[in-house]
Amino acid sequence: MAYYQSSPSAGRHFLQIPGPTNVPDRVLRAMDNPTMDHRGPDFGRFGGQLLEKVKQVFKTSGPVVIYPASGTGAWEAALVNTLSPGDRVLMCETGWFAHLWQEMAERLDLRPELLRTDWRRGADVPAIEAALRADRDHGIKAVCVVHNETSTGATSRIDEVRRAIDAAGHPALLLVDTISSLGSIDYRHDEWGVDVTIAGSQKGLMLPPGLSFNAVSAKALRAAETAKLTRSFWDWRPMIASNATGYFPYTPATNLLYGLDAALDMLAEEGLENVFARHDRFAEAARRAVRHWGGAGAGIEIQCDDPRHFSSVLTAVRLPEGHSANALRGIILEKFNMSLGNGLGRLNDRVFRIGHLGDFGPLSLVGALGGVEMGLAAAGIPHQAGGVQAAMAYLNGNA
């Protein structure tokens, strides 16, 4: 029995969820190398080079800590290294993942103050500035924002969040989740004054799940010296001390680090600006398909309804009332061997999500959109046929 699908079908499986993404052969081959002695001299040289190389994708000159963990672990590391029990944190509920981060903060004995949205846009920058201006005694210790909300397909403007914090004259730390955006959407840790950037391996970095990251500012390092939340595994200090010589204080995920090295080389060879432009182009093509399907009053919509916050890594598609997104996904999987992302939280059964990030080319997008359009017809969901052609017309005019 094949381990990856219960009912084997001819042809490749289309994995079009917004992460984990498809892993390039080059990365798989790198991971296939023999495991290295993680205490030996070769690893020290390899680790030192890798830790310098990874800074480029964050656009930082500061340390980047790498954990053998999922992005959830990097969330926790960002909080416990910078904050103390009872600290107030300003959090923007832009979707399901922002909600989960807020729940973690509560479990860690922090006091999150939530700025809610309708889950159809990114962070409310004026509300952030207003909340910080009102906090005259500077009791808020951190502002937490998800850069790209994977549940809704909305991207927050982190440069504008930084300007709002500065305009309010507030000393709060800025903590940003880039788990689904790093390596796919323009991001600038140093330039935007981010204090902790959180990331994971399984999205734009084109790796399997298993590595998570904290890029750390000098201000965040100073906060770590007085933070009182309990930390052991997640403590930056022994990690950064060992990393200075290319090593880790405990056993690293050696073969995943091989894969990371290959993935970073692929991003550098394409050029990050070209990578971002590729993702922008495919995202717009996907949105044109969705708009076409929803034409003539069909009622299919892009979940994010603010064009300034459109995501370039996924498109969340909202179905008309009375139609099941989960049923549609099931039909598409059964008939066309394609996996789409499900709706999360309040969007369960209302939306499906098309991932178009990572190791992804134009034919991958056309195939994915073709599977969706055939699925809409098979499910009997009202739509205007020709969305794939609308996407192809855009791609042909913007090659």
Nearest to 376 by CA among 280, 294, 281: 294
Please indicate, yes or no, whether residues 215 and 355 belong to a single structural domain of this protein.
no
On whether residue 57 sits in a domain, the answer given is yes
- The CATH number of residue 347's host domain is 3.90.1150.10
Domain around 328: 271-397
How many CB atoms within 10 Å of residue 302?
23
| Structure confidence at residue 367 (pLDDT) | 97
DSSP letter assigned to residue 314: E
On whether residue 7 sits in a domain, the answer given is no
Please indicate, yes or no, whether residues 261 and 298 belong to a single structural domain of this protein.
no
**Residue 303 and residue 345 in contact, taking contact as beta carbons nearer than 8 Å:** no
Please indicate, yes or no, whether residues 211 and 279 belong to a single structural domain of this protein.
no
Please indicate, yes or no, whether residues 261 and 294 belong to a single structural domain of this protein.
no
Please indicate, yes or no, whether residues 253 and 275 belong to a single structural domain of this protein.
no
Please indicate, yes or no, whether residues 253 and 277 belong to a single structural domain of this protein.
no
| Structure confidence at residue 122 (pLDDT) | 98
pTM (2 decimals)? 0.96
Please indicate, yes or no, whether residues 235 and 319 belong to a single structural domain of this protein.
no
On whether residue 75 sits in a domain, the answer given is yes
**Residue 224 and residue 84 in contact, taking contact as beta carbons nearer than 8 Å:** no
Domain C-terminal end among 248, 268, 288: 268
Please indicate, yes or no, whether residues 121 and 75 belong to a single structural domain of this protein.
yes
pLDDT digits (tens, 9 = 90+) for 6-28: 666 788 899 999 999 999 999 99
Please indicate, yes or no, whether residues 76 and 194 belong to a single structural domain of this protein.
yes
Q: CA 335, CA 63: separation in Å to the nearest integer?
A: 47
| Structure confidence at residue 1 (pLDDT) | 39
pLDDT digits (tens, 9 = 90+) for 343-376: 999 999 999 999 999 999 999 999 999 999 999 9
Domain count, the chain: 2
| Structure confidence at residue 399 (pLDDT) | 62
Strands (E), 24-83: 64-67
On whether residue 5 sits in a domain, the answer given is no
| Structure confidence at residue 4 (pLDDT) | 57
For residues 247 and 7, the model is more confident at 247
Average pLDDT, the chain: 96
Domain C-terminal end among 238, 268, 298: 268
Please indicate, yes or no, whether residues 240 and 275 belong to a single structural domain of this protein.
no
Please indicate, yes or no, whether residues 247 and 280 belong to a single structural domain of this protein.
no
DSSP letter assigned to residue 61: S
Q: CA 244, CA 222: separation in Å to the nearest integer?
A: 18
pLDDT digits (tens, 9 = 90+) for 168-224: 999 999 999 999 999 999 999 999 999 999 999 999 999 999 999 999 999 999 999
On whether residue 4 sits in a domain, the answer given is no
Q: What average pLDDT does the segment 233-258 reach?
A: 98
Please indicate, yes or no, whether residues 243 and 279 belong to a single structural domain of this protein.
no
Q: What average pLDDT does the segment 259-267 reach?
A: 98
Domain C-terminal end among 222, 242, 268: 268
Give, in order, the Cα–Cα distances in Å from 294 to each of 280, 383, 387, 397. Answer: 21, 6, 9, 22
**Residue 214 and residue 236 in contact, taking contact as beta carbons nearer than 8 Å:** yes
pLDDT digits (tens, 9 = 90+) for 122-168: 999 999 999 999 999 999 999 999 999 999 999 999 999 999 999 99
- The CATH number of residue 119's host domain is 3.40.640.10
DSSP letter assigned to residue 21: P
DSSP letter assigned to residue 195: S
On whether residue 10 sits in a domain, the answer given is no
Q: CA 394, CA 399: separation in Å to the nearest integer?
A: 9
| Structure confidence at residue 49 (pLDDT) | 98
User: CB neighbours of 8 closer than 8 A, spacing ≥ 6?
Assistant: 2
**Residue 194 and residue 174 in contact, taking contact as beta carbons nearer than 8 Å:** yes
Nearest to 214 by CA among 318, 32, 76, 393: 76
On whether residue 1 sits in a domain, the answer given is no
On whether residue 358 sits in a domain, the answer given is yes
**pLDDT higher than 70, residue 269:** yes
**pLDDT higher than 90, residue 91:** yes
| Structure confidence at residue 58 (pLDDT) | 98
**pLDDT higher than 70, residue 5:** no
pLDDT digits (tens, 9 = 90+) for 293-335: 999 889 999 999 999 999 999 999 999 999 999 999 999 999 9
In the numeric block, the tokens 């500035």 are attached to: 129
Q: Which two tokens stand for residue 324?
A: 């099941």
Nearest to 298 by CA among 280, 317, 272: 317
